[in-house]
Amino acid sequence: MKMFKIRKEKMGGVLMENLLTIATFAGVIIGIGVGVGIKNHEDPTNPWLPRDVMYLKFIGTLFLNMLKSVIIPLIIPSLIASIGSLDLSLSGKIGLRAIVYYMATTIFAVILGIILVVSIKPGVTEESGNSNVTDTKHQRNVTTADTMMDLVRNCFPPNIPQALLQQYQTQIVYPTMEPEKFGDPDPMDKNTWKVKSNWTDSTNILGLVVFSIATGIAIALSGEDGIPLLRFFQSVSIVMMKVTNWIIHLAPIGVLFLIAGQMAEMDDISKEFEKLGWYFGTVLLGLGIHGLIVLPLLYTIVTRTLPFRFLLNMGNAYMTAFGTASSSATLPVTIESLEEKNGVDSRISRFVLPIGATINMDGTALYEAVAAIFIAQMSGITPSIGQVAAISITATAASIGAAGIPQAGLVTMVMVLDTVGLPSESISIILSLDWLLDRFRTAINVLGDSIGAGIVNHLSQKELEQMNQRQNSDPENLHMDNIKMVFSCNKYNVLKSQ
Ligand code: ASP
């Protein structure tokens, strides 16, 4: 009887602890239910108007806006403060571990995707082979080299305030785009191409991350002189964490309306599934194997602990990723869950997560590889071994280059298609279901980042301990150390008081 009571109390405790995750999960399910209900009961003579959908999406949009609004004020100061307070002679190792993890898991995801799509062959049908690929080849307007150079250019923005708003993008202008000027020249004649620099409206997170890392390193090297600035960024980051915590509590309602609104906008989901079902299933299977077997196994091997609790504690982050389809927007939730529930040191989480959320996208990498080969299969092309190898490399680069925003992977897909000689227009084959696949791959991207932070945290215990000891034994660093103590105490007080 007593044991039963204790078990009941324990269950109650676990439920209370995970109430927000359970509520967010309920939000996802109810959102899907509402979406399906709307589609099933829609009167064909009187369908939902874009304005009705806008009303339905209203609350979801507010939630998304709130999350987006804290990305920059939280991520930049956190990154600067965590690097600024690191002991640089030791933190190189931490960074190296993170990079090795990012590269290894991304490449593994790509290989897994290729194995699945080549063996399942979702795009090989009787009709495939009819479309003439080379005919439309001249329409492609971005090459792999252009995209890679844009990526590097975006790492070094010329103007930081501008980087908050815009990204650089190369555009090729063909004479066929202006026929009145050129008559009808050969579009394959490269002499007639013009290169245009374009600034597109989207935050250049990569550039901001690079600049923040440089600032953090400079602070760490500046000793006493850097302390006021370090204090400032620590303070901003603590205050923003409090705001984030408030927003996270709105996730159940937010994701409900985001998903319901998105589904109400769809034309006919079952028809799309009929057409693209095998492709959808292949990507989903790959994401499932990678996120639920490979990464948890890696975690268990490295940390020698079972991954279930760790994964469960991150539930809220996965659900928010699914609801928002954006790993950047989910970043505040990921940081909070990792630090508060999984006990990851904030020096690690705030160092590796913002970088991970911008460059480590296992789900996107897997999807890019599967989608490119699927489109090639649909077009009657069987990629050669060399092309498959090229697809693996470009899919990895495309996932690094994709921003953590909805359907960014679709944009960088162009460069993967380019390696098989497919025009960017052929993306339209997979367009209709991409919004849904995007949600699954974003959840796996976030899962990959969080497991990475957990693994790096485990492997870096010695360095963290050494940093603590070095600060304690070095009187010159005492002042710095006090600030860090105050930083962590404040953070916990702030969060516990909510
Ligand atoms: N939406 C994804 C993310 O934010 C990127 C993508 O694959 O489109 O992680």
Instruction: Tell me the backbone φ, ψ of residue 186, rounded to 5 degrees.
Output: -75, 115
Please give the distance, rounded to the nearest whole angstrom, from the Cα atom of residue 452 to the centre of ligand 1: 17
The reported pLDDT for the residue numbered 256 is: 93
Does position 111 have pLDDT exceeding 60, yes or no?
Answer: yes
Structure tokens at 406: 């909805």
Mean pLDDT for the chain overall: 83
Please give the distance, rounded to the nearest whole angstrom, from the Cα atom of residue 362 to the centre of ligand 1: 10
- Greater confidence (424 vs 16) lies with 424
Please give the distance, rounded to the nearest whole angstrom, from the Cα atom of residue 405 to the centre of ligand 1: 5
Q: Is 454 in the pocket of ligand 1 (CB under 6 A)?
A: no
Atom number in ligand 1 closest to CA 364: 7
Please report how many Cα atoms fall inside a 13 Å half-sphere around the Cα of residue 110, on the Cβ side.
25
The reported pLDDT for the residue numbered 441 is: 95
Q: Is 361 in the pocket of ligand 1 (CB under 6 A)?
A: yes
Please give the distance, rounded to the nearest whole angstrom, from the Cα atom of residue 214 to the centre of ligand 1: 26
Closest C-alpha to 400, from 209, 215, 118: 209
Residue nearest to atom 1 of ligand 1 (CA): 406
Does position 201 have pLDDT exceeding 70, yes or no?
Answer: yes
Atom number in ligand 1 closest to CA 326: 4
Q: Is 406 in the pocket of ligand 1 (CB under 6 A)?
A: yes
Atom number in ligand 1 closest to CA 406: 1
The reported pLDDT for the residue numbered 185 is: 55
3-state secondary structure of 142: coil
Please give the average per-residue pLDDT across 344-351, as a whole number: 90
The reported pLDDT for the residue numbered 489 is: 42
Please give the average per-residue pLDDT across 261-267, as a whole number: 81
The rounded percent of the chain whose pLDDT value lies above 70 is 84
pLDDT digits 0-9 by tens, 116-160:
999 999 888 665 554 444 444 444 456 777 777 888 898 899 999
In DSSP notation, 439-458 reads: HHHHHHHHHHHHHHHHHHHH
Q: Distances in Å between the alpha carbon of 428 and those of 94, 369, 431? A: 41, 16, 5
Does position 271 have pLDDT exceeding 80, yes or no?
Answer: no
The reported pLDDT for the residue numbered 180 is: 58
Element (H, E) at 171: strand 166-173
In DSSP notation, 350-375 reads: HHHHHHHHHH--HHHHHHHHHHHHHH
CA distance 397 to 484: 37
Does position 491 have pLDDT exceeding 60, yes or no?
Answer: no
The reported pLDDT for the residue numbered 423 is: 77
CA distance 256 to 319: 11
Please give the average per-residue pLDDT across 23-28, as a whole number: 89
pLDDT digits 0-9 by tens, 76-91:
898 898 888 877 777 7
The reported pLDDT for the residue numbered 16 is: 64
Q: Is 408 in the pocket of ligand 1 (CB under 6 A)?
A: yes
Instruction: Tell me the backbone φ, ψ of residue 193, rounded to 5 degrees.
Output: -75, 145
Please give the distance, rounded to the nearest whole angstrom, from the Cα atom of residue 365 to the centre of ligand 1: 10
pLDDT digits 0-9 by tens, 365-414:
999 999 999 999 888 888 888 888 888 888 998 888 788 888 888 878 87
Please give the distance, rounded to the nearest whole angstrom, from the Cα atom of residue 467 to the centre of ligand 1: 35
Q: Is 368 in the pocket of ligand 1 (CB under 6 A)?
A: no
Does position 108 have pLDDT exceeding 60, yes or no?
Answer: yes
Does position 3 have pLDDT exceeding 60, yes or no?
Answer: no
Does position 7 have pLDDT exceeding 70, yes or no?
Answer: no
Please give the distance, rounded to the nearest whole angstrom, from the Cα atom of residue 284 to the centre of ligand 1: 15
pLDDT digits 0-9 by tens, 214-254:
999 999 899 889 999 999 999 998 898 889 888 888 989 99
Q: Distances in Å between the alpha carbon of 333 and those of 24, 54, 247, 353? A: 12, 26, 9, 11
Please give the distance, rounded to the nearest whole angstrom, from the Cα atom of residue 363 to the centre of ligand 1: 8
Cβ neighbours for 147, distance < 8 A, ≥ 6 positions apart: 170, 397, 398, 401, 412, 414, 415
Atom number in ligand 1 closest to CA 408: 8
Q: Is 402 in the pocket of ligand 1 (CB under 6 A)?
A: yes
Q: Is 438 in the pocket of ligand 1 (CB under 6 A)?
A: yes
Please give the average per-residue pLDDT across 436-442, as a whole number: 94
Q: pLDDT confidence of 440, banded at 50, 70, 90?
A: very high
Residue nearest to atom 6 of ligand 1 (CA): 409
Other Cβ atoms less than 10 A from the Cβ of 91: the count is 23
The reported pLDDT for the residue numbered 235 is: 93
* Pocket probe mutation, ligand 1, options 64, 290, 326, 413, max atoms within 8 Å of Cβ: 326
Q: What is the pTM (predicted TM-score) of this model?
A: 0.78
Structure tokens at 318: 């996965």
The reported pLDDT for the residue numbered 138 is: 40
Give the E-state strand segments of 174-260 in sequence order: 194-201
Q: SS3 sequence, 72-127? A: HHHHHHHHHHHHHCCCHHHHHHHHHHHHHHHHHHHHHHHHHHHHHHHHHCCCCCCC
Asked whether 425 and 307 are in contact (CB, 8 A), the reply is: no
Residues paired with residue 246 on neighbouring β-strands, in sequence order: none
Does position 436 have pLDDT exceeding 80, yes or no?
Answer: yes
